[in-house]
Amino acid sequence: MNNIISKISDSELSVMQVLWAYEEALPMTIIRKSIEETSQWDSSTIKTLLRRLCEKGAVSVEKRDVFYYRPLVTEKQYNDYSTQVFIDKVYRGSAKTLVAALFSGNKLKKDDIEELRAMFHIESEGVEND
């Protein structure tokens, strides 16, 4: 699975994100229209990306009247894995260092911090981890 995830390229990810945004398998038409809203890729490009995603095992196709494409990797799986890879690469594995950097770089707004503090609070009272 992680094997599959690590092969998804940035352009391919954009296509996956469209698939993740809907609940059901999608035909080209929908994918194309959805992507046209934010990018100017030729439909040819989208077709290539879908084909590559299928080859990599990240998407399956189902023949109905037309092909329907369905993600085989969930967004959470992708996000969790690629976050870990990113943290290992840039922050030598320390999630805490990353969060501290976000905080001191003002990437977290006051409201965000309130929310996170509440989360952290519940956790530190109710659960033991590590």
Residue with smaller CB distance to DNA, 28 or 87? 28
Q: Is 111 exposed, middle or buried (0-12, 13-18, 19+ CB in 10 A)?
A: exposed
List interacting residues with DNA (CB under 7 A).
7, 9-12, 27-29, 32, 40-45, 47-49, 51, 65-67
21 binding a second copy? (CB under 8 A): no
Tokens of 100: 């501290």
Sites for a second copy among residues 44-73 (CB under 8 A): none
Of the two residues 29 and 93, which places its CB atom closer to a second copy in the complex?
A: 93
54-67: b (≥16 Cβ within 10 Å) or e: eebebbeeeeeeee
Q: Is the dihedral of CA 87, 91, 96, 101 positive or negative?
A: negative
What is the footprint of a second copy within residues 87-116 (CB under 8 A)? 87, 89-91, 95-96, 98-103, 105-116
Out of a second copy, DNA, none, what residue 44 binds, judged by CB under 5 to 8 A for its kind, is: DNA
